[in-house]
Copies of this chain bind each other. A is one copy, B any other.
Amino acid sequence: MEKTLTAEWIREQADRMVPGRVRILDQTLLPEQRVFIETDDLETVWTAIRTLQVRGAPAIGIAAAMGVAAALQRNAADSGAALAEEAGRLADRLATARPTAVNLFWALDRMKKTAADNAGMAPDALKERLAAEAQAIRDEDAACCRAIGEFGAALLQDGDTILTHCNAGGLATSELGTALAPVYVAREQGKTVRVFADETRPLLQGARLTAWELSQAGIDVTLICDNTAAQVMKEGRIRAVLVGADRIAANGDVANKIGTYGVAVLARAHGIPFYVLAPTSTFDPQASDGDAIPIEERSADEVIRGFGRLTAPENVNVYSPAFDVTPAELIAAIVCEKGVLRPDYRESIRNALG
C-alpha cells in the first residue's frame, strides 16, 4: 500500500499500538492542543470512550480492543483460563461506555472470543495473542478504510465538491477514515475534491476535527454552521453528501451523528446523492431496522455551555440525542470494504456479510 503524505499524516495522528499501552489522541482538546493519552489502565480507556476523547465508530472499536489487551499485560493470572475470564470482564466493562456504535461491541466480542478460544495457552502467550488481535483489528480497519476510499473515489469526479457531517475521517478510524477516505484517495489519483464541513453541534466535530484534519492534509475545506447546509445545496455547490455511520441495520437504516437524517432529507429535496461509508463491522444484522438501534442521549451541558460560557438559560429543557437514524430509502449507496451496496439493502447487506 503506497503511503502518501496524507496517509502518513493521518497514521501519525491515529490511535496506535504501543507495546502494552493504548495511545489515544485526545480529540476533546483539538484543534488547540495535540495531547496523547498513553495508558494501560482500563478505566482511563473507559473514560476516554465515554467522554469522546476517542470517538468515531471504528476508532472506538480499536481503542477498546487495545484497551483490553493493554490492561491485561500486567495481569498476574496463573492460567490462560483465568486470564480469558478477566478479558471477558474487562470487555464487558468497556461495552458500557457508549451504547450506539456497534463497532465497540463487535471489537470487544472479537477480543472475548480470541481469549476464550485460546484459554488453553500459557498466560504470557495469551497476552501476546490478545495484543496481536487488537493490532489486527487496527490493521484490518486501515485496509477497510483504504478499500472504502477506492470504491468511494470511483463515485467522484475531478472538481466535485462534497458535503460531510461530523467527522468520519482519519481521526475516527485508524488511517484514511470512512466518509473522508474517498477524498484522500481521489487526491492520490490526481483529482481535486473540495469539502464543505458541517460544524456539527453540540460538540463541533466538524469544526474541530474534520476542518482541522482536512486543512492539515491540504484539502480545500469550507466550514459551515449546520443550518447552512440547505443553503449551500440550494446554491448548487454540492455534488454528493458523504457521511460515516455508527450502526447500520439489516435493512440499510443508518444510525449516525445527530443531524445526518436532516442532511439526508435536504439532499433528497435537492436531488443530491447521499452516500454512507462504513466498514462491515458497523453492520448490525441483529437490528432488523433503525427502530432496533438504541440512541444515546447526551447532557444538556454540552448544548448550553459547550463553548466555555453559559449560552442559554441555566435550567432550560434540552433535547440532545447523540444520533439519529436515516431511513434506507434516502441513501443512494452504502460503501463498505466489500464494494458499493445499492438497494435492496436487506439483500446487498446480507451478501456483503455472507
Q: Which residues of A contact B (CB under 8 A)?
A: 31-32, 165, 196, 198-202, 204, 207-208, 211-212, 215, 220-232, 234, 258-259, 261-263, 265-266, 268-269, 303-304, 306-313, 315-321, 324
Contacts and interface: CB of A to CB of B under 8 A. Distances in A.
Contacts of A318: 222-224
Contacts of A208: 311-312
Contacts of A310: 31-32
A320 B225 contact: yes
B262 A231 contact: yes
Give the top 10 A-B pairs by smallest Cβ distance, nearest first: A307-B307, A227-B259, A230-B262, A207-B312, A201-B225, A226-B227, A222-B317, A231-B324, A215-B313, A211-B316
13 contacts: A212-B312, A215-B313, A215-B316, A221-B317, A223-B316, A225-B259, A228-B259, A228-B319, A229-B262, A230-B265, A234-B324, A307-B308, A307-B309
Interface of A is mostly: mixed
B230 A303 contact: no
Number of identical monomers bound together in the oligomeric complex: 2
A201 B215 contact: no
A59 B31 CA distance: 38
A231 B201 CA distance: 14
Contact of A303 (B202, B223, B303, B312): B223
Given A199-B312, A215-B315, A215-B316, 19 more contacts: A31-B312, A165-B227, A201-B226, A207-B316, A215-B313, A222-B316, A223-B312, A223-B318, A225-B259, A225-B303, A226-B226, A226-B227, A226-B259, A230-B259, A231-B258, A231-B324, A266-B266, A268-B269, A307-B309
Given A204-B311, A303-B199, A312-B207, A230 B317 contact: no
B261 A319 contact: no
Contact of A312 (B211, B226, B320): B211
A33 to B, nearest CB: 11
A219 B220 CA distance: 45
A132 to B, nearest CB: 37
Given A309-B32, A312-B207, A202 B221 contact: no
B321 A211 contact: no
A228 B321 contact: yes
A322 to B, nearest CB: 10
Contacts of A269: 265, 268-269
Nearest to A206: B312
A258 B313 contact: no
A319 B318 CA distance: 27
B224 A320 contact: yes
A262 B262 contact: yes
A224 B319 contact: yes
